[in-house]
Amino acid sequence: MRVLGFGDNIVDRFVDRGIDYPGGNSVNVAVYARRLGLEAAYLGVFGDDGLGRFLRESVVAQDVAVDHCVVRTGETGLSTLRVDDGDRVFLGWNGGGVTVREPLALDSELLAYVASFDLVHSSVYSRSESELPKLGGLGPLLSFDLSSDDEFRTPAYLDRVCPYADLVLLSCSHLDETATQALLAEVVERGARLALATRGVDGAIAHDGRTTVAAPARRVGAARALVDTMGCGDAFLTGFAVSLLRGGWSPGTPPERHLIERALHDGAGTAHAQCFVEGAFGHGRPSGQPVVSSM
């Protein structure tokens, strides 16, 4: 089984630690899938600056293929944040840099490459909405992260994404259970085959239009200190999706309830493990450190 992260990459700068970490929703899902034993690749645009080289080298070091990526002239996406009692606090970002400003368009050669994967994942941070219709009927399943921002939950935006998505992830820790279930139902009504809401310590809920399944979060015990929550949502999605793939999920075979229940359990496990990782997947370096190797 093969998983492709398509779209965003970014450097997360922890100002309290003075450390830069590689990341980005699409990158993270590819890295986590690889760590769960699947073949994985990332497809997107890297900036030609030092941070872009740092990102590319970090992804390659995770045994994730990047051979179809593009390097463009421009700055790399950079977000700044700190950790308060284990929770990440975003302080700002530069808009995603050249990766978001000049996103990758899928031509016939790239579409042939994408078709070789079992699952393609993208996100609201990737500016990939215009490419989603090209993926319909191509072969792979498509998952899409809708984040927690209300900007990406309007009917107009959902209609650009949901008809092409086999799995949509929504971060709903700020919503109560009633509002969460209503949002999941709307996402499915607008075309998504399966919708997943993560709710932090309140667990997760999945809905496919026929059945709704909820599962509790796996709590961090007192014996281990939480490092930070960076990447936990991406880890949950990846664990959930990989579990479904291993259970036989495919475009023509929607997952049955018992597979969704198991996937929620597996997703909670990967999210729990992520709580003890620095940044999205480690590989940090002191902020401002030069990169001397070439792309």
SS3 of 139-174: the string is: CCEEEEECCCCHHHCCHHHHHHHHHHCCEEEEECCC
The pLDDT, as a whole number, for residue 293 is 40
* Amino acid in position 105: A
For residues 59 and 70, the answer to whether their CB atoms sit within 8 Å is no
For residues 47 and 75, the answer to whether their CB atoms sit within 8 Å is yes
65 conformational bin, left if phi > 0, alpha if psi -120 to 50, beta if neither: beta
The pLDDT, as a whole number, for residue 148 is 81
The pLDDT, as a whole number, for residue 20 is 96
Tokens of 227: 């490092």
For residues 144 and 122, the answer to whether their CB atoms sit within 8 Å is yes
User: What are the backbone angles phi and psi of residue 123, rounded to the nearest 5°?
Assistant: -155, 170
The architecture that CATH gives domain 2-279 is 3-Layer(aba) Sandwich (3.40)
* Amino acid in position 159: D
The pLDDT, as a whole number, for residue 295 is 42
| CB atoms inside a 10 Å sphere around CB 111 | 14
Domain positions in the chain: 2-279
Residue stretches of the chain with pLDDT short of 70: 86, 221-223, 289-295
